[in-house]
Amino acid sequence: MTKRWWRDAVVYQIYPRSYRDTNGDGVGDLRGITQSLDHLEWLGVDCLWLNPIMPSPNTDWGYDVSDYCDVHPELGTLDDFDELIREADRRGIRVLNDLVPNHTSDMHAWFKDARMSKDSKMRDRYVWADPKPDGSAPNNWMSQFGGPAWALDETTDQYYLHLFLPTQPDLNWWNDDVAVAFDEILRFWFDRGVAGFRLDVCHAVVKDKDLRDNPPATEDDPPQVRGRGQKSIYDMNRPEVHDVLRRWRRIARKYEPERLLVGETYVWDLQSLIAFYGKRNDELQLAMNIPFVHSRFDAGRLSTIVDNMESGLPRSGWPVWMGSNHDADRLATRWCDDDERKVRCALMMLLTLRGTPLLGYGDEIGLPNVTLTERQLRDPVGMRFWPAYPGRDPGRTPMQWKSGAGAGFTAPDVTPWLPFGHPSRCNIADQKSNPRSVLHLTRDLIALRREETDLRTGTYSHRASPDGTWVYNRGKRFVVALNMSDDVAKIPRVRGKVRVSTERDRDDSSFSGGLVLEPWEGVVVERP
């Protein structure tokens, strides 16, 4: 086992409610994940990231935690979790939990106590402020989910802060009791055998002590910031957040093997992102690259993000790349317009870049987003912004294991918590029996990555190539050439043997005198 195992790993995200239901209530559960480990081992992934499994009133589907040291009864029990860890371990698969340190549920015992009176011992664990003289909110901060970030609590006539829903009060990370309580929460799960955490909103846990107003957005801001009308200077990404991350890393380092901290670092500029690795490699081991996920599937844009990361990140750091997640929808639709050629190309890119690939459940079969009606929505964000934005449910629908009623996700007569797409068009079983399927491509790329050190840790260097294509060397022996355009592309000065091609028709064939790629075709070439 290598010390920094995550550099060699392929991580696979599971949204537990949507993976596999074993007790016929239409909701995926931990036992369902345990029962799926054979598939995951066959696929070759090394590590699972589970979205929150803790007890929660589910106003934000697990991201509103009411008890950090237990399992949501709908998903199972702590015993089920221990069994999952044991069974995964037997197959060499590690498990990451999702930790939500920015806020709790308003049903968490701390908040219930805190809101009772200004003298509550728990009061200062949250962010409270008096109304302005005219009764309005203490400052101009906005909720990520729309509207002001402040809710007036009538009992004590003070506002509390919520960067997300009013049912998700923000914790006050200036309060040492909060920090100490989270140290224990980290240890609770590390001791149980989790390999680490994906840290929710980890760039934002600390807020400006003086609660200063955010300044207005300016023209040079990315569209997401301009859309909100203000720069998140004071409510997010404060310098003190780095103290918190260093504190957690110190705890992670006490374990053998060291526990992994993967941050949801929702920042748009590279310098802020890189800062989360720590000045002395003492913060996150992996920081998610948000501009990459939200980019168009465009050779120029994506390669620029990767090139900048490659040149900016110190040697001690390591990138992580993803195209799908439970907030951003599935790559098959968002990046690839449900065009299978593009999906194959995207998977080849993710699995051959230098860095840890993070696949969303269903990416291995190119599972598309599912179009929902308003009545089918469960995500509070979709319910609020429908129809302008359907929210995040389209990428959170159940895994499609096979065709037919229940899709292998649940019993045939059960209605799943979110609807299926078209299981007969896209499912694991059918693709498993077809060696040319997307599923086999994913598996073969993962296997090649395991086999070839160059494809894991070899250097990345971007080669000059025609517009709309992206060609890079990995180590000394490999070239990856992706044609991300609708035109046939000629790539000069490449020769060797194709190890894997997206359409599989060129596998193991040798060529010299330049490479011609069909639209959206990609190849991994071993040089002579």
Tell me how far apart the alpha carbons of residues 419 and 380 are, in angstroms, rounded to a whole number: 17
Binding mask 2-21 for Ca ion (x = CB under 5 A): -------------------x
Nearer to Ca ion, 21 or 80 (CB): 21
Beta bridge partners of residue 526, listed in sequence order: 478, 497
| 80 belongs to the binding site for Ca ion (CB under 5 A) | no
Among 99, 100, 252, 491, binds ligand TEU (CB under 6 A): 100
Task: Name the residue among 31, 22, 37 with its Cα closest to residue 53.
Answer: 31
3-state helix, strand, coil in the chain (%, to 5): 30, 15, 55
| 49 belongs to the binding site for ligand TEU (CB under 6 A) | no
Q: Decide: helix, strand or coil at residue 505.
A: coil
Q: Which of 46, 235, 264, 454 is catalytic?
A: 264
300: amino acid identity, one letter: G
- Contacted entry of ligand TEU, Ca ion, none for residue 283, CB cut-off 5 to 8 Å set by kind: none
Nearer to ligand TEU, 105 or 469 (CB): 105
Nearer to ligand TEU, 53 or 471 (CB): 53
Nearer to ligand TEU, 19 or 401 (CB): 19
Tell me how far apart the alpha carbons of residues 265 and 263 are, in angstroms, rounded to a whole number: 5
Nearer to ligand TEU, 310 or 379 (CB): 379
Q: How far is the CB of 86 from Ca ion (least distance, A)?
A: 20
Length in residues, the chain: 528
Task: Name the residue among 154, 176, 150 with its Cα closest to residue 165.
Answer: 150
Binding mask 58-77 for ligand TEU (x = CB under 6 A): --x--x--------------
Q: Which of 21, 153, 200, 521 is catalytic?
A: 200
Q: How far is the CB of 21 from Ca ion (least distance, A)?
A: 4
Residue located via tokens 């709309």: 468
Binding mask 19-38 for Ca ion (x = CB under 5 A): --x-x-x-x-x---------
Binding mask 436-475 for ligand TEU (x = CB under 6 A): ----------------------------------------
Q: How far is the CB of 390 from ligand TEU (least distance, A)?
A: 11
184 is catalytic: no
Among 67, 258, 327, 338, binds ligand TEU (CB under 6 A): 327
Contacts with 36 (C-beta within 8 Å, 6 or more apart), sequence order: 19, 20
264 is catalytic: yes
Q: How far is the CB of 64 from ligand TEU (least distance, A)?
A: 7
Work out the burial of residue 494: count CB atoms within 10 Å of its CB; fewer than 13 is exposed, 13-18 middle, 19 or more buried: buried
Tell me how far apart the alpha carbons of residues 244 and 102 are, in angstroms, rounded to a whole number: 11
Task: Name the residue among 443, 493, 486 with its Cα closest to residue 464.
Answer: 493
Beta strand segments in 3-157, E? 11-14, 47-50, 94-99, 128-129, 150-153
Tell me how far apart the alpha carbons of residues 247 and 139 are, in angstroms, rounded to a whole number: 29
Dump the DSSP string for 82-104: HHHHHHHHHTT-EEEEEE--SB-
Interface positions with ligand TEU (CB under 6 A): 60, 63, 100, 144, 164, 200-201, 264, 266, 326-327, 381, 392
Interface positions with Ca ion (CB under 5 A): 21, 23, 25, 27, 29
Active-site annotation, residues: 200, 264
